[in-house]
Amino acid sequence: MDPLVSVIIPTRGRPEKLRACLGCLSEQNASTPRFEVVVSLDGPCEASRAVCELAWSGFDMVLVESPRQGIAVAKNWAIERSRGRLLLLINDDILPEPGFLEAHVVAHAEREDAGLGEAMVLGHSPWVVPEDASLFDRLLAQSSMVFFYDRMITPEGVVLGERDRDWGFRHAWNLNLSVSSALAREVGGFCPAIANCCYEDLEFAWRVDRAREGGVPVLFRPEAIAPHDHRYTPEGFLERERRLGYSAFGFAKASPECAREVFGLEIDGVDELAYAARFLGHEGRAEERLRGAFGGLAEIASSLVPEGETGMKLLKLLEQQQVMLRRIVFRRGLIEAAEGAVIEGLFHPSDGLPTRSSLLGHAPA
């Protein structure tokens, strides 16, 4: 009998994170419907293969190995091999709680029983806050610097919005998102040319939404909880912003209409690139000073900022103060891509990956 759910995990070179994630999946509720886990290695990794070959209990394990072609292709290979009626797309660094998978299944069943049509279901993946949390750790966990969960749910767990609110495709983050397998296949899976992490999921959801008259909503179900175990340093966060800027150029080339909706402009256009260069020439002079202040947040204990409303106001102020620095490094990455620079680990439009979204045919064993 085929499983009801296929859990899709693309991964590259993080065997210990993958081990922890699979361990949590092996401890799902006894009432959880039958599911499989499809791990897709984006390039060879002996250590990750060894993790997948352990005797995991509670689910069927499928391992897909392919040459390094980026996260979109890795997900497509996994979809090709999947058998479930639902796809649950997750990151390798989340830690699903016991009721996680069941909550996704129930959310889709409720929609079906009510005759409301298909939906994408976003679960809750709050940041894992370490015991020695710095002010930077707390700022990341309680702000919109990476994800926008702070606009959806308070630190106390109060959901901000109606239960059936459509949060839109910009909230369809694949660290914790489920969608029907049929719908994912119908739109052709992920766009191979959006090969760098962090835009491929939005573009996929954008096409899913457009596949049905009236749209396919993104619903938030906080009971599908899987904390996100990824600790950034300030330097690592800024490097992420630079890479986002670099990847935005390829995203716009591969899916210009979607990119215009995300950014509100033609981010790869001549005018925007010229503006980015002028911006760097003027505002970039403050970068060293801003980096020093930003890096200092990792040296301040989180406990020095109070909890409650006062603490949240202070965190919002800190978030706003680093917007200029984020814009500087993002635009630097954008210009680097426009100039054809090579950044280790990232793909560029000149690599020639297909811009047309389609599944790939026979998936590798």
* Tens-digit pLDDT profile for residues 123-143: 999 999 999 999 999 999 999
39/22 Cα distance (integer angstroms): 10
pLDDT value at position 308? 85
pLDDT value at position 364? 62
pLDDT band at 363 (very low <50, low <70, confident <90, very high): low
For the chain, give the percent of residues with pLDDT over 70. 99
121/103 Cα distance (integer angstroms): 10
pLDDT band at 311 (very low <50, low <70, confident <90, very high): confident
pLDDT value at position 365? 59
Whether 362 has a pLDDT exceeding 70, the answer reads no
Distances (CA, A) of 320 to 55, 92, 162, 282, 317: 47, 30, 27, 20, 5
pLDDT value at position 341? 97
151/143 Cα distance (integer angstroms): 8
Q: Which two tokens stand for residue 176?
A: 């914790």
- Give mean pLDDT, residues 282-299: 95
Angle between helices 287-295 and 323-338 (to 10 degrees): 120
How many H-runs (helices) and E-runs (strands) does the chain carry?
13, 7
Whether 105 has a pLDDT exceeding 70, the answer reads yes
- Give mean pLDDT, residues 237-246: 98
- Give mean pLDDT, residues 209-238: 97
- Give mean pLDDT, residues 79-84: 97
- Give mean pLDDT, residues 13-27: 98
- Give mean pLDDT, residues 29-51: 96
- Give mean pLDDT, residues 235-244: 98
What is the CATH class of 5-129+148-225?
A: alpha beta
Whether 358 has a pLDDT exceeding 80, the answer reads no
Mean of the per-residue pLDDT values of the chain: 95
pLDDT band at 356 (very low <50, low <70, confident <90, very high): confident
Residue identified by tokens 């006062």 is: 310
Distances (CA, A) of 99 to 6, 19, 119, 225: 16, 19, 20, 8
Instruction: State the span(s) of the chain assigned CATH 3.90.550.10.
Output: 5-129+148-225
Name the 3-class secondary structure at 66.
strand
- Give mean pLDDT, residues 204-208: 98
Question: Does residue 258 contact residue 129 with C-beta atoms inside 8 Å?
Answer: no
Taking the alpha carbons of 77, 83, 89, 94 in that order, is the dihedral positive or negative? Answer: negative
Question: Does residue 181 contact residue 76 with C-beta atoms inside 8 Å?
Answer: no
Q: Are strands 5-11 and 35-42 parallel, antiparallel or unpaired?
A: parallel
pLDDT value at position 169? 98
Whether 230 has a pLDDT exceeding 80, the answer reads yes
